[in-house]
């Protein structure tokens, strides 16, 4: 037996018969290596591969979430409420913390408030938080959704509509932005009803009040009242203040870098650096 000592795993080597077999194969330069070192390296590579796959899944989900460029760095944490808005933020955070329950029973949120109080910020921040938890979330602007069904019609409108109806959590912004036609109300009801029947949580942001919510159509308003917690966000627009003090936080997700694993493997009594990089 040709024995060497690994500083991490102790004695290792191979028998003289193995060495003879190497010679017969024409590879006399092969030296015994520490199997413990190799196993450590293999485990590190598998862990790096799994982490890279997981990060890529999150990154792809984020890229498909429909977050507007201006709101890419918005989170629930960096929405700074006024004194009178703190209760609203607490409810939003509590909902996010209990997401497993809401995914089970289909309970969403209905954010009501004047323009500029932070509804879109919260929707985008909620999407970021959900994606971080591994929940597929998508933000959509209702006027843009409805525009697909108006001339010139989008070729893939039904496929995109079906995706919104089936995503784990849908954040639907700007509903009730303008007076809606019977056709628009019917299409909105179709979307809300599909999610209602499947118990899929829906996050809604609207300027409508509790009294004017029925302008969306009584059937739609009735379902929203049942499937969403109502959160009234008081206050006036803070967009002018936001322009003076913009949020400088980085985006919550970055494109994953290909992992590299570098490890020492004892070979022939000496440590050899082995490097692995994901393809």
> Sign of the CA dihedral 143, 193, 111, 246?
negative
181 three-class SS: coil
Confidence of residue 234 (pLDDT cuts 50, 70, 90): very high
Distance CA 237, CA 247 (A): 16
What are the counts of helices (DSSP H) followed by strands (DSSP E) for the chain?
Answer: 10, 9
For the chain, the C-alpha Rg in angstroms (whole number) is 28
Q: Which of 206, 233, 194 is nearest to 83 (CA)?
A: 233
How many of the other CB atoms lie within 10 Å of CB of 245?
A: 9
Please check the confidence at residue 7 and state whether its pLDDT lies above 80: yes
8 A C-beta contact, residue 166 and residue 198: yes
Strand partners, 266: 271
Q: Where, residue-wise, is CATH 3.40.50.300 in the chain?
A: 67-244
What is the average pLDDT across 59-81?
96
Lowest-confidence segment of 61-70, 140-149, 263-272 by average pLDDT:
263-272
Amino acid 178: pLDDT: 75
Q: What is the DSSP string of 119-140?
A: HHHHHHHHHHHHHHTT--EEEE
How many of the other CB atoms lie within 10 Å of CB of 25?
A: 9
157 three-class SS: helix
8 A C-beta contact, residue 264 and residue 275: no
Average pLDDT, the chain: 91
Residues 155-179 pLDDT 10s? 999 999 999 999 999 999 999 877 6
Looking only at the bridges linking them, the beta strands covering 260-267 and 270-277 are antiparallel
Superfamily of domain 67-244: P-loop containing nucleotide triphosphate hydrolases (3.40.50.300)
Please check the confidence at residue 223 and state whether its pLDDT lies above 90: yes
The gap from C-alpha 228 to its chain's centroid, in whole angstroms, comes to 21
- Host H or E run for residue 111: strand 108-112
Distance CA 252, CA 232 (A): 27
Q: Where are the alpha helices (DSSP H) in 33-178?
A: 35-63, 86-97, 99-105, 119-132, 142-147, 157-166
Residues 88-137 pLDDT 10s? 999 999 999 999 999 999 999 999 999 999 999 999 999 999 999 999 99
Looking only at the bridges linking them, the beta strands covering 202-206 and 108-112 are parallel
């Amino acid at each position: 037996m040709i024995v060497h000592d690994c500083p991490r795993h102790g004695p290792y080597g191979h028998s003289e018969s193995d060495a003879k077999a190497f010679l017969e194969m024409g590879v006399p330069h092969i030296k015994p290596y520490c199997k413990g070192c190799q196993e450590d390296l293999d485990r590190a590579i598998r862990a790096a591969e799994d982490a890279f796959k997981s990060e890529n899944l999150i990154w792809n989900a984020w890229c498909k979430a429909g977050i507007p460029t201006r709101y890419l760095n918005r989170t629930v944490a960096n929405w700074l409420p006024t004194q009178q808005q703190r209760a609203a933020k607490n409810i939003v955070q509590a909902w996010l913390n209990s997401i497993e329950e809401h995914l089970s029973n289909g309970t969403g949120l209905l954010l009501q408030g004047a323009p500029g109080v932070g509804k879109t910020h919260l929707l985008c921040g909620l999407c970021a938080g959900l994606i971080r938890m591994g929940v597929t979330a998508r933000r959509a602007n209702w006027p843009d959704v409805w525009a697909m069904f108006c001339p010139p019609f989008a070729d893939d409108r039904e496929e995109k509509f079906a995706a919104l109806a089936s995503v784990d959590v849908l954040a639907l912004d700007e509903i009730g932005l303008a007076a809606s036609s019977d056709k628009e109300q019917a299409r909105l009801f179709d979307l809300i009803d599909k999610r209602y029947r499947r118990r899929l949580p829906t996050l809604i942001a609207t300027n409508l009040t509790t009294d004017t919510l029925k302008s969306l159509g009584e059937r739609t308003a009735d379902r929203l009242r049942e499937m969403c917690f109502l959160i009234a966000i008081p206050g006036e627009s803070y967009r002018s203040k936001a322009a003076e003090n913009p949020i400088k936080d980085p985006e919550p997700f970055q494109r994953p870098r290909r992992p590299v694993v570098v490890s020492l493997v004892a070979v022939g009594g000496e440590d050899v650096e082995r490097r692995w990089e994901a393809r």
